[in-house]
Amino acid sequence: MKKILVIHGPNLNLLGKREPGIYGKTTLKQINQALEKAAKKYKIKLIAKQSNHEGEIVDLIGKNKNKASGILINPAAYTHTSVAIRDAILAAGIPTIEVHLSNIHSREEFRHKSLISPVVKGTIMGFGPKSYILGLEALIDLINVK
């Protein structure tokens, strides 16, 4: 059975409570449940983790590069600052999709640049929780599970 590593970055554990006008009312648990349901159709196992710590995210990528067929990542605030996560994705060498609940280009200027986008297969943003499902479907296509 193929595995996909799902990484939720900093503060995503607060979804549903934190700035619902931007991030919506859907919780992280609900997003993970929707991802599990979608993955089940393709007999894919998800390894879903959330961390507020950059080094832990880097470790997750490194530890799973030989176990997972792909990575679905919402680096959250680390999108704009983390060379370490960027380098870990490059080093893993497996298909990766970046997702965001909001459209980073319609937000504050400091959020417009992603250090992650240049090293992933694609980025899906601005569709709220649906961004995760769209990202998962794209990743499934990339790893030829369908």
Q: Is 80 a catalytic residue?
A: no
Active-site entry in 42, 78, 80, 100:
100
Can you give the pTM of this predicted structure?
Answer: 0.92
pLDDT, the chain, mean: 93
| HEC secondary structure over the chain | CCEEEEEECCCHHHCCCCCHHHHCCCCHHHHHHHHHHHHHCCCCEEEEEECCCHHHHHHHHHHHCCCCCEEEEECHHHHHCCHHHHHHHHHHCCCEEEEECCCHHHCCHHHCCCCCHHHCCEEEECCCCHHHHHHHHHHHHHCCCC
Active-site entry in 8, 23, 78, 132:
23
Q: Does residue 107 register a pLDDT over 80? A: no
Q: Does residue 127 register a pLDDT over 80? A: yes
pLDDT of residue 106: 72
Q: What is the mean pLDDT of residues 1-26?
A: 86
What are the structural domains, with CATH classification, of the chain? 3-124+132-142 (3.40.50.9100)
Q: Is 23 a catalytic residue?
A: yes
Q: What is the mean pLDDT of residues 6-35?
A: 88
